[in-house]
Amino acid sequence: MAGDASAGPRRPSLPARTPPAICRPEPPPDRIVERAVDEDALRSTAIEIAQAQVSKAGDTLATIKARMYAPALAALRETGNPLG
């Protein structure tokens, strides 16, 4: 019941949370599509874009993946009881 004293003190309602600053903002309307290519050029263009990003990954990406997948990798390396 509303106002029931046995329910304990009522918590104040909090305002809606603002997304953290690390959230990606929506792209500006003029930048939704960065590049458009014909279907025949799709694969080669995708490879070109990916190759341009390779040098940016390096050790940082390896560190992120090692930390992120550490529990799974440990389980896969387990030889005593592989099914957990």
Q: Do 45 and 37 form a contact (C-beta atoms < 8 A)? A: yes
Residue 70: pLDDT band (50, 70, 90) is very high
Question: Can you give the pLDDT at residue 51?
Answer: 86
Question: Can you give the pLDDT at residue 68?
Answer: 92
Mean predicted confidence (pLDDT) in 48-52: 87
Mean predicted confidence (pLDDT) in 33-39: 84
pTM score: 0.34
d(CA 10, CA 42): 58
Composition of the chain by helix, strand, coil, percent to 5: 50, 0, 50
pLDDT digits 0-9 by tens, 1-15:
555 555 556 666 655
